Structure 1
């Protein structure tokens, strides 16, 4: 909950009031360089809001405005603890000064993969600031001085005892209160407890308590707490961090209604669970849709750049999600890095009114933050070796990822023989339902066995969002 509060505060900060950016190059690659503005970093705990940009050598054409651009600036919120990133604004520029287009984004929080643009920026902005390092050094020096003083006091006490007559009787030993106290760098918990007992009246004896049955186990949610809840203290009033926890407790209780596909968290309620999910209810370019009545044209082939690699598989409470090694797709001169892929049953999208048994969504992200999702439809048929390898390492528990060291998968083997596809502009199919997502739905389905479908159904019998209105969107179909 604390992270959600911090993220909201950072998002509300007016970017227009920031100082003029001072760009610093952090990475140079063939055809582009990556820069960040260190003067306008906004930090709150482990959350950092940063402005970065990609400067291209060759001009690209903006699909919405039709104008050319060479600079993409992005304002992104990074969580240095979880290594997640959320893009909140993008600016396309023809050059250093001429703006082609700006867009505010209600983006989803996505994991940052090693070697990507976001990874390079995250590593830079998540380094502790120099002033923090100086403060830590100061505290360490103060603790060292206290410890040195304590050691000196102990040495003086020992020398004083050695100089006294050896015939000193035990009864004549100096009283304990005469001993020189040793400064401690730890809090005096005993003194605090004694003070609390003195400040509070002794409660009357209570009758024998009856044994209380433990509460039923709750389903795991994605609420991130800053610290475990502490037992109530007898202090007169909460202060500091405890005050924050006390005030935020009702919001935490409400947040336990997590989004899902049934009950209070079902798709029709997503927009009510979190203000950031409002696009789920009012968006006009939502996904999935029934793909029909498209125009048939000669679409540019998608260039898939996947390599065999190890993988990491997790049941995240909504689906089975997999991350593999480096991979990307290229389309119309633009490259999108593979972030992760996951499964839905049944397929979320329809083709001319027909649903398929399952679908796998391969989520990619470009340097400018735009998402592109490749959808591979799965139909009942022969066993799929790629899927079987994943199922062999299915985690036994939710949110407990498995990374088999010797198992290798090749995403190219999951793709259909024909690479023809449908394409349209839509949204994420899960909260916050962010729009501006490029969808690439493969026309030819891939076969999976009934047993492989049943294995996934044991975990998720239905994790598909209902069909959304197409609202007259243009759909293109490769011919």
Structure 2
């Protein structure tokens, strides 16, 4: 009898992991990670919205900056609104491994984010909002398939009749319907593609006034770095590339002659006790624009304070790859947060981005990308918390430099945070489709002093 009990216990231990994991269903898998949903967790809350558990399982653990331990699984409790196609995260849990909890965090401000078709969130939404199959659903699906098949047949007949009519109109001999269809397909295949006009977008800190559509608010005053991207025909390659910026317009001469230009390769800094940057970032409404040189997000109500001076945050935007280098190394991307003080001085906080987990704030921006360049999208019921971009370790490098786009104005205080933040491979790919490369090369140092937190 004891031996039988031991065998039973061994059997239960063997099957328990499979039972524990059986509720997780793979929604997406790619190199290095997979995304899963626990279908057994799907339920309705008191407002009729769907609540479900999802998680990202990494092949290799990464270090958690808040605990200095490693985790491999990030689990999120999300609330989905199937009708409006939106979701918000209520809670996140970090696991060292299966069943080994590292820490949990409640999301204090659950921001409703729209779900865009084709994105990973769209796949999760479909799984959560998909009705459970039953006999009625199977019958309805069968009837729908029959109707689709019938409609497809009728459409094919109509196409054949139309093709024959066109052939007769051209006084051609009418061949068999199958041959007519083949000829039409061949004609479509060999037709040259329509030429897309080359539209050079305008630039960001030029002196001419910026044009706006009637009824649309103007960008925040004093955004400096932000406004350069909308008015001159400069680019990141070719005859209008960085090597030629200084010759494009007299106002851009500093791009070629300046001695305090950015970006630079940050190395050999003086390790000292730098004053901490006082971030006063607050959730606010936002608007997104693709200005032809980058994706830019305008916000209000946030600021930083340093050395007795306060700088208001006007906007942030992205570069790929990072413009800054640290000891010769570049990062996948960088986000520049552009601030301006009352006296007109500019301070830019740079947050380096490297491939890892999905970044919720960046996804919120990507979800609201405008369909046309130089058109603004202002989500009416959404806010954005720029503090989500900041790493836990806010030590930094600092030096005096310039704007990294024409007119390359100098006297800019640069604050480059040392700890990178994550951005997913999917999010990187989205920006790469818009801008393959929009980073100015590193500039000469000219013996500038660089300081870094010790």
TM-score, normalising length: structure 1: 0.48
Residues 79-110 of structure 1: CA distance to partner in whole angstroms, max 9, x if unpaired? xxxxxxxxxxxxxxxxxxxxxxxxxxxxxxxx
Name the structure 1 match of 2:373.
398
Matched, 1:476 2:451: yes
**Structural RMSD (CA):** 2.2
Name the structure 2 match of 1:308.
283
Q: Which runs of 5+ in 1 are unaligned?
A: 1-213, 228-255
| Larger of the two Rg values belongs to structure | 1
**Cα drift, residue 310 of structure 1:** 1.5
Residues 275-313 of structure 1: CA distance to partner in whole angstroms, max 9, x if unpaired? 110110010010000000000000000001111111100
The structure 1 segments of at least 4 consecutive aligned residues displaced by more than 3 Å after TM superposition are: 223-227
Name the structure 1 match of 2:202.
222
Pick aligned residue for 1:334 from 302, 306, 309:
309
**Cα drift, residue 217 of structure 1:** 2.7
Residues 361-380 of structure 1: CA distance to partner in whole angstroms, max 9, x if unpaired? 00000111110000000000
Pick aligned residue for 1:266 from 235, 241, 246:
241
Matched, 1:325 2:300: yes
- Structure 1 residue matching 2:377: 3-state secondary structure: coil
**Cα drift, residue 408 of structure 1:** 1.6
Matched, 1:364 2:339: yes
Pick aligned residue for 1:345 from 320, 328, 344:
320
Pick aligned residue for 2:442 from 463, 467, 476:
467
Residues 181-233 of structure 1: CA distance to partner in whole angstroms, max 9, x if unpaired? xxxxxxxxxxxxxxxxxxxxxxxxxxxxxxxxx99634043298999xxxxxx
- Structure 1 residue matching 2:446: 3-state secondary structure: coil
Inter-CA distance 226–403: structure 2 relative to 1 (3 Å threshold): closer
Residues 149-201 of structure 1: CA distance to partner in whole angstroms, max 9, x if unpaired? xxxxxxxxxxxxxxxxxxxxxxxxxxxxxxxxxxxxxxxxxxxxxxxxxxxxx
**1:185-334 correspondence runs (5 A):** 217-222=197-202, 258-334=233-309
Q: How many residues align?
A: 239
- Structure 2 residue matching 1:296: 3-state secondary structure: strand
Retained in 1: the 8 A contact 2:200–2:233? no
**Cα drift, residue 257 of structure 1:** 7.4
Inter-CA distance 226–401: structure 2 relative to 1 (3 Å threshold): closer
**Cα drift, residue 354 of structure 1:** 0.4
Inter-CA distance 405–296: structure 2 relative to 1 (3 Å threshold): same
- State the distance in 1 between where 2:237 and 2:327 align: 26
- State the distance in 1 between where 2:232 and 2:292 align: 13
Name the structure 2 match of 1:245.
none
- Structure 2 residue matching 1:367: 3-state secondary structure: coil
Pick aligned residue for 1:445 from 410, 417, 420:
420
- Structure 1 residue matching 2:274: 3-state secondary structure: coil
**Cα drift, residue 418 of structure 1:** 0.5
